Amino acid sequence: MASPRILSVLLTLAAAGCSSGDTNPAVPPPPGHDASTSDTTADDVQGTDTAPQEASTPAPFRIVTWNVWALYDNVPGNCANNCPYEPTPAPSASDYQAKINSTASLLSKLAGDVVMLEEVENTAVLDKLASTPALASFNYQYRTLLPGNDPSGKNMAFMSRYPVDNVYSHKDDQFTREDAPAKVYRYTRDALEVHMTYRGKHVVLIGVHLRSKADPDDPDKRLAEAQHARAIADFALQGDPSAYVWILGDFNDLPGSPPVLAVQTGKAGPNFSDATELVAAPDRYSYVYNGKKELIDHLFANPGAAQRIDAQSVFISHEASDSDHAPVAATYQVP
Amino acid occupying residue 122: N
pLDDT digits (tens, 9 = 90+) for 168-215: 999 999 999 999 999 999 999 999 999 999 999 999 999 999 999 999
pLDDT of residue 95: 98
pLDDT of residue 56: 73
Q: What is the pTM of this model?
A: 0.85
Distance CA 246, CA 249 (A): 10
Complete domains list, the chain, with CATH: 4-334 (3.60.10.10)
pLDDT along the chain (335 residues), means of 10: 33 32 32 43 39 69 98 95 92 98 98 98 98 98 97 97 98 97 97 98 98 96 98 97 98 98 94 98 97 98 98 98 98 97
**Residues whose CB is less than 8 angstroms from the CB of residue 94 and which lie 6 or more positions away in sequence, other chains included:** none
For residue 278, CA distances in Å to 7, 229, 282, 314 come to 37, 23, 12, 7
**Which letter, b or e, does each residue of 7-38 get, where b requires 16 or more Cβ atoms within 10 Å of its Cβ?**
bebbbebbeebbeeeeebeeeebbbbbbbebb
If one counts every other C-beta atom within 10 angstroms of the C-beta of residue 151, the result is: 14
pLDDT of residue 269: 85
> Are the CB atoms for 196 and 63 separated by under 8 Å?
no
Give helix then strand counts, H and E, for the chain: 8, 16
Distance CA 57, CA 36 (A): 36
Distance CA 225, CA 247 (A): 12
Amino acid occupying residue 323: S
| CA angle, residues 86, 91, 93, in degrees to nearest 5 | 140
Report CA 333 to chain centroid distance, whole Å. Answer: 19
Distance CA 274, CA 264 (A): 8
**Residues whose CB is less than 8 angstroms from the CB of residue 42 and which lie 6 or more positions away in sequence, other chains included:** none
Distance CA 111, CA 50 (A): 20
> Are the CB atoms for 91 and 121 separated by under 8 Å?
no
Distance CA 161, CA 334 (A): 15
Q: What is the DSSP letter of 30?
A: P
pLDDT digits (tens, 9 = 90+) for 269-303: 899 999 999 999 999 999 999 999 999 999 999 99
* Cα dihedral 213→215→220→224 (10° resolution): -50
Distance CA 314, CA 63 (A): 10
Distance CA 324, CA 321 (A): 8
pLDDT of residue 319: 97
Q: What is the dihedral sign for C-alpha 52, 170, 144, 263? A: negative
If one counts every other C-beta atom within 10 angstroms of the C-beta of residue 88, the result is: 7
